[in-house]
Amino acid sequence: MARWALLVGPKGSGKSQDALEIVAQLREHGLRVEGFVQVGWTDELERKGHDLMRLGSGDKIHLSRPGSTEKPGEEAFCSFVFHQAAFGVARDWTMQDAVGADVVVVDEVSKLESAGKGHHDAIAWALERADIKVVMTCVRGDQLFYVMEKFKLEEEPFAMLEVPADNEAKMAFAEEIVAACR
């Protein structure tokens, strides 16, 4: 099983943005970092949604929009409608890009993943890999217990950052990951 590091914080606390900053720091240390982050967007009507961004290429795919009305291939969950195909794309990105990666990032793990949906398959696959040195996950604090239980994470993460965090804490977190990869 891969070692795991954790960014944890409440909804809207900046986990994804902090993850991107940490990815940049890890890359400055020469580590190969792959995976995906969930980036928010707001349209002209101030409605919020999410895209998934592939860390290696910057490619994006639409993940969610606000609402509860589903169309084929969508599922409503927690006041958002999710495009189910996007989760499969993110899983495929993870599986393709993880070969030879030092760190794999899976962003926004919450109720959906605890229910065996969403990014569940990408996380499970990455954690089971012995050739991945570190799996860095971004988890909502109120879901941490359920995530640990679902993925049978009996040991605490070797590195953890509570978000929001200052630059010093982010740098220390990145250094712990660098040390684990050496």
Would you list the domain boundaries of the chain? 3-38+84-181
Q: In the prediction, which pLDDT does 175 show? A: 98
What is the predicted pLDDT for the residue at 138?
96
- The position carrying tokens 């795919």 is 61
Q: Please give the Cα distance from 151 to 127 (Å, whole number).
A: 9
- For the domain made up of 3-38+84-181, give the CATH fold: Rossmann fold (3.40.50)
pLDDT value at residue 69: 84
Would you say the pTM of this structure is higher than 0.75? yes
Q: How many CA atoms lie within 13 A of 144 on its CB side?
A: 18
Question: Sign (positive/negative) of CA torsion 135, 136, 142, 144?
Answer: positive
Taking the C-alpha atoms of residue 82 and residue 75, their distance in angstroms, rounded to an integer, is 5
pLDDT at 74: 82
Q: Give me the average pLDDT of each 10-residue run along the chain (182 residues).
A: 92 93 98 96 81 96 87 81 93 94 94 92 93 94 93 92 97 98 92
